[in-house]
Amino acid sequence: MTRYSAWSVFKNGLSGHKNWGRAWRDPEPKTEYDVVIVGAGLHGLATAYYLAKNHGVKNIAVVEKGWLGGGNAGRNTTIVRSNYMMPGNRDFYEHSLELWENLSHDLNYNVMFSQRSHISLLHTPAARDGAARRYNTMRLTGTDAEIWDLDTLKREVPHLNYNSARFPIMGAAVQRRAGSARHDAVAWGYARGADQHGVDIIQNCEVTGVTREGGKVTSLETSRGTIKAGKVGFAVAGNSSRLWSMAGLGKLPIETHKLQAFVSEPLKPLLDQVVVFGVGGAHFYISQSDKGGMVFGGDLDWYKSYAQRGNLPIVQDVAECATSIMPCLGRVRLLRHWSGVMDMSMDGAPFICKTPVDNLYLNAGWNYGGFKASPASGWHFADLIANDRAGRKIEHFNLQRFERGVNIDERGAGPDPKLHG
């Protein structure tokens, strides 16, 4: 497999870029694997990559019902940040951000990670106090965090509505190391990296049944035949509950909801950072892609749904948010909007854990936050599968936490999945 470099670009340029090899193979499924990961999204591919790279596991397959990166990996707003406060989340997301910082080099694939600052607008003294508490906690635990006054914010982001906002902007809470990345490149980079380590990525291979014998999963029934497995990991956000019930395990603390996102026609450089707006009932986040499109999103559609398509009230809601904080977007045309279905968990925190079945492992419940988490999620899920014990950074991400009363409820919204935005 070609190692990408300036030299390889130059060399292939001489032959008109017609001789690049394919980035990963398209293998037929074997009858048996040591580890089968279900779901070739960012989490599944990252898990396979780190299983092979960090733990030397051979004979791994990633099975995917559609095409790799075609689920939520391709349906998000690509925000990367670690501004979490709760113990359990704090360490984990910081580790993920550290992995992002070196990801392009590690994968030899440009994931276009851009640390362009994540700016949460503040509109009330109470919000400012709350943000100060959260961002001070971040500083005390080794992350960068800043609170900006209005003058600093105006200097850095001049286009916001500072004149006629219903809730005037007072300042902002900022994480400078946060930013965004190119979602497809992350999926392709992990796929290529995993493939180079011998992982079979099997697309168009839907799991239709989970066979258990003697307290263990023995094989998966798929649309491309039966695949025997030594260990199985589920990483299928949105459909976790369906696989869970296929495995005969009953219910999960998860509901499936859909979240829309939007991109505008390409514009000249307008917004250098990721900006987040949330006051009262509003929830809105926006950044500008390298191609120029304004990428933005808001709340869930509010009702449970497996349909990967959005609904109009949220389009209106998000458009109102957009024009209320950036009135200059008023005449910008929408290019596309789309929707992904996600696992909304009961406390807004994920699961990377063992299950009641010995050789089955669960990676689920990512709510809005799966994109930024994918490197650390793969890293620690691989560690869990390889060593059959949860490492310190994921010890709270288990299914027992609700019974024990140790919910990791970052937003303090209670056990209602749709509220954990």
Partner 1 sequence: MIRINCPFCGERDHSEFTYGGDASIEYPALDASIEEWHEAVFLRENIRGMQSETWHHVNGCRSWLIIERDTMTHEIKSIRPAHEGYASALASSSSSSNDAVGEQDQ
Find, among 249, 252, 209, the residue nearest to 358 by Cα: 249
If binding is defined by CB under 8 A, does position 115 make contact with partner 1?
A: no
Residue pair 337/366 in contact (Cβ under 8 Å)? The answer is no
- Residue 155 host element (H or E): helix 150-156
Q: Residue 83 or residue 260: which is nearer to partner 1 going by CB?
A: 260
Among the listed ranges 129-137, 159-167, 242-250, 318-326, the one in contact with partner 1 (CB under 8 A) is 242-250
Nearer to partner 1, 196 or 241 (CB): 241
Q: Give the residue, chosen from 255, 272, 395, 409, that forms a contact with partner 1 under the rule CB under 8 A.
A: 255
Smallest gap, in angstroms, from Cβ of residue 210 to partner 1? 16
Q: Which residue's structure tokens are 């019974």? A: 403
Does the protein bind partner 1 through residue 259 (CB under 8 A)?
no
Rg (CA), the chain: 22
**Of residues 327-386, which lie at the interface with partner 1 (CB under 8 A)?**
346
Q: Considering beta carbons, is residue 251 or 268 the nearer one to partner 1?
A: 251
Give 179 or 365: the residue with its C-beta nearer to partner 1. Answer: 365
CB atoms within 10 A of CB 254: 24
412 lines the binding site for partner 1 (CB under 8 A):
no
| Closer CB to partner 1, 226 or 311, in the complex | 311
Which residues have CB under 8 Å from 403's CB, separation 6+? none
Q: What is the spatial distance between Cα 121 and Cα 82, in angstroms, rounded to a whole number?
A: 16
Q: Are strands 274-277 and 118-122 parallel, antiparallel or unpaired?
A: parallel
Binding status of residue 398 toward partner 1 by CB under 8 A: no
Query: Taking Cα atoms as reference points, which of 274, 267, 326 lies closest to residue 291?
Result: 267
Classify 269 as helix, strand or coil: coil
Residue 392 touching partner 1 (CB under 8 A)? no
Pick 269 or 405: Cβ nearer partner 1: 405
Q: How far is the CB of 255 from partner 1 (least distance, A)?
A: 5
Is residue 402 near partner 1 by the rule CB under 8 A?
Answer: yes
Residue 320 in contact with partner 1, rule: CB under 8 A: no
Which region among 100-108, 179-187, 254-262, 278-286 touches partner 1 (by CB under 8 A)? 254-262
Q: Which is nearer to partner 1, 97 or 236 (CB)?
A: 236
Q: How many CB atoms lie within 10 A of CB 230?
A: 17
Could you say whether residue 305 binds partner 1 (CB under 8 A)?
Answer: yes
* Residue 56 beta carbon to partner 1: minimum distance, rounded to whole angstroms: 36
User: Which residues, listed in sequence order, are joined to residue 231 by a DSSP beta bridge?
Assistant: 35
Q: Which stretch binds partner 1 (CB under 8 A): 43-51, 147-155, 240-248, 331-339?
A: 240-248
Q: How many residues bind partner 1 (CB under 8 A)?
A: 27
Q: Give the C-alpha separation, 113 to 42, whole Å.
A: 15
3-state secondary structure of 6: helix
Distance CA 290, CA 241 (A): 36
CA 154 to CA 168: how far, in whole Å? 13
Among 312, 331, 333, 389, binds partner 1 (CB under 8 A): 312
Nearest one of 410, 397, 295, 406 to 355, comparing CA atoms: 397
Told to check if 321 binds partner 1 by CB under 8 A, we report no
| Residues with Cβ within 8 Å of residue 275, at least 6 apart in sequence | 119, 121, 157, 160, 285, 286, 287, 325, 326
- The smaller minimum CB distance to partner 1, of residues 107 and 235, is found at 235
> Does 6 sit near partner 1 (CB under 8 A)?
no
Using an 8 Å Cβ cutoff, are 216 and 359 in contact?
Answer: yes
The yes or no reply on residue 250 touching partner 1 (CB under 8 A) is: yes
**Least distance to partner 1, CB of residue 417, Å:** 8
Can you give the binding site for partner 1, defined by CB under 8 A?
Answer: 239, 241-242, 245, 250-256, 302-307, 311-313, 346, 402-403, 415-418
